[in-house]
Every structure is written in structure tokens, then in C-alpha cells.
Amino acid sequence: MINTSTILIKDVEVVGRRGRTSVYIEDGKIVELGEVKVEAERVFKGNYVLSPAFYNTHTHAAMTLFRGYGDDMELQEWLTTKIWPKEANLREEDIYWGTRLAAIEMIHSGTVAFADMYFYVEAVGRAVVDQGVRALISGGFIDLFDEDRREREIKTVEAGLKALEGFPRERVRPSLGPHAVYTVSKEGFEYIRDKADETGYPIQIHLLETREELEEFLKEHGTSPIRYLQELGILRRGTITAHSVHLTDDEIRTLSRIGVYPSHCPISNMKLSVKGIMPAQRMINSGIKVTLGTDGAASNNSLNMLEEMKFAALLAKGLSAPTDLPAETVFKMATEWGAEALGFRGGRIEEGYDADLLLFRKDHYSFTPGYNFTSDIVYSATPSSLDTVICLGEVLMEGGVVEGEEDVINKAREVAYDLIQR
């Protein structure tokens, strides 16, 4: 990373705007747009397209360590025979290096901030700060309806929140992460609700990912997971609901009234064959700000938001009409709405917003001939299109290179093979 307090991006074209402009950045903020006359410590000037950076609203970042381990399997078999047994052996060092690897991968495709639900949250926070990115971090709360386990999980959450509160808030935001209705008891959800009330921290949860999840819950409880979680106070303004695939129109209206941020994870959903696709366009039509997530690299198998935008747009069109989820909407899901869901003031190129910015190469084949930059980013751009990534005014990647990435990749490979052999 190159630490600078002032940056001038000079005479570039901007996504969604006509003509060329300049952007002056100071202390991590966009201070001035237009014909900027001031000088800066760093100047970027070239044949670039300037874009807001991307915000990934659902990950298990350190699952990069399981990339390619147990593909092409049924979901429950994959979880019970491959993932959960190895996750039981995870150590703090594994989480740190797996998250560093994830952050590097996300930087290469333009993501500067993500929502994480996993283990050893202090290690996640250290990895986030050390790699220069940002995150909304929660520990995955799973009590499996067992009282003793619930008490242990509560202690883990309390210790994790205390640790996360020690990180700079502009980089790390604490949150609460009850896993799902099929892994968390009513009493566990009540603890999460009370903790959210006490702290004001947001909640992230897996919601209605599979048809089986819905059918089994209805059979056991006689009510829908949406109503259950609403009555328990888990679904509230600002809650991130990952997947949100199997919803009725009435439930969509309910989520709209509440003000949640669904995280659409189309690639993971297809790979795990959840027997459905989030009704994203219908949700947006109802006033919901739908966001985009990659899920973990064990079920994607990448953390590439450029791919996620394209898949989201194409799936919607394949299911309904070519006008569903147009490029402008999908771009907003990955930028402005994603930043809002994570609680960061980014996703827009405007004065006063965080300097989370991307410089794409206008001379790249994917931006040629360049009729519509938003469409180019959503439908044709690749990580090789991206030259520079800036997060809070810090240059994380320049010329397609992230400083020190080779060392991180080698260390992550080392800990991954050690983990699988335990």
C-alpha cells in the first residue's frame, strides 16, 4: 500500500457522466470535483475510466482456504463431509491468512469492502487492516439448539465484539451473525436481538437459501421463517439477508417495509443448486435496495464482483425479460447500495464521500469502443481491465499489482494444505 494524504485524479472520464473531470482526494475523502486547481502528493493522469469501488455484502472470506475442496456435491453432503469437519480444525492463523488472500482477490476485481460472517473475528479484523480494505465483521453464531453450546457461543460473541471495537471504525465495523433458522435456537436469536438493541450493531443472516430450508421450517413451526424472524426482532432496518431466494410477493412487501438489505449471491446459488434464483427485480420494484455478494470461495469459487454483476443481470433476463436488472441497476447494487448496507459512505463519486475508487483502462479491449462505460463494467470488464484501486484514499493496487501479494498467496497456500491434513 502507498500511504498518501492527497491524490489528484486528473482529466479522466467518469462512469455515468459526460466529458472529462478531475477529482481531488484528501484524508480519504473526495474533496473536489471538476476543474481542480490544487496540487497533490500523487497524481493519476491517463486514459482511464473512473468508477466507484465495489462492496461485497456476503462472504466467508477465509473460506478461500477451501477453494476447490469438495466441488460438484449436494449441499448437505458437501457441508457435513467436507466443510464442517475441516472448519472444526480452523485456527486463528488460518483465518488471518485466508482473509488476507480473500482481500487480495477482491482488490484485483475492484472490491474494497465486504461483509464477513465466520470465525476468529479479531484475526479477520487484523487481516482487513493489514491489507488496507474495509469490512463489516461478525462471528457466525451457531448453537444447534443446544444450551451448553449456546452459552459458549455467547461468550465467543462477547469476546469478539470487544476485540472488534478496538479497530478503527472507518475500516472495521462490528456486527452480529446468527447463521440461519436451521442452526440457531429461539433463545439464541433472542440473545442476538438483545445484543443488537444494546449496541446498535447490524445483523447479517442466511435467509431462505434452499427450498428444503423453507419446507422443513414450515412443517416444524407452522409459520414462515420471515414471520418468525420478524417477530423475534432479527429482521429489522439494516439487516443483511444473504440469498433470500424463496420468497412470496407478500414476504417481499414485508421486507420492503422493514428496510433490510438482501444480498444476492447468484453464482453460489447456482453452483449449490438451491433450486431457485432471488427475485431481485421484483424486490427492487417494491423499493428494496438489493445488494450483491459472492458468498465464500468454497461455493463460488471466486470473489469476483465483476462476474457477480454479470451473472445477476443475465440470470434475471434469462428468467424473465431482457429489461430486467439492466446494467445501471446491477452497478448500483454493487456500489451505492452495497456501501449503504455495510454502513460506509462510499459507492458514489461525489464531494464528501469516501475515496473508494477504481481506475479502469480505457484502452483495454473490454472498454473498446466504449459506448457505455456502465455496460462495459457489468458485461465485459475483467480484472485485467482494472489498473488502480483506491480505498479511503490509499492506493491498494497500481498497474494491476498489489504490493506483497506473492508472499500472502504463498503463506495462504501453506496454511491451507496444513489445515486439510489435520
H helices within 286-372, ranges in order?
A: 305-319, 327-334, 336-342
Report the distance separating Cα 67 and Cα 299, nearest Å.
8
Domain with CATH 3.20.20.140 in the chain: 54-342
Residue 394 burial (C-beta neighbours within 10 Å; 0-12, 13-18, 19+): buried
Give the other-Cβ count within 10 Å of 240's Cβ.
27
Residue 161: which of 174, 171, 143 has the closest Cα?
174
Question: What is the DSSP code string of 225-258?
Answer: HHHHHHHTT-S-TT-EEEE--S--HHHHHHHHHH
In CATH terms, the superfamily for domain 54-342 is: Metal-dependent hydrolases (3.20.20.140)
Query: pLDDT: is 74 or 93 the higher one?
Result: 93
- Which cell goes with 375? 455496460
Instruction: Find cell 464442517 and name the residue.
Output: 84
What is the model's pLDDT at position 4? Answer: 59
Region class of 81: left (phi > 0), else alpha (psi between -120 and 50), else beta: alpha
- 33, 22 in Cβ contact below 8 A? yes
Average pLDDT over residues 266-287: 95
What is the model's pLDDT at position 74? Answer: 84
Domain with CATH 2.30.40.10 in the chain: 6-52+350-399
> pLDDT tens digits for 298-324?
999 999 999 999 999 999 999 899 999
Whether domain 6-52+350-399 has CATH 3.30.70.140: the reply is: no
Beta strands in 127-238 (DSSP E): 134-141, 172-174, 177-178, 204-207
Report the distance separating Cα 146 and Cα 406, nearest Å.
43
> pLDDT tens digits for 226-244?
999 999 999 999 999 999 9
Residue 354 burial (C-beta neighbours within 10 Å; 0-12, 13-18, 19+): buried
Report the distance separating Cα 263 and Cα 293, nearest Å.
6
Report the distance separating Cα 403 and Cα 397, nearest Å.
7
What is this structure's pTM?
Answer: 0.97
> pLDDT tens digits for 140-192?
999 999 999 999 999 999 999 999 999 999 999 999 999 999 999 999 999 99
Average pLDDT over residues 351-378: 98
Average pLDDT over residues 348-371: 97
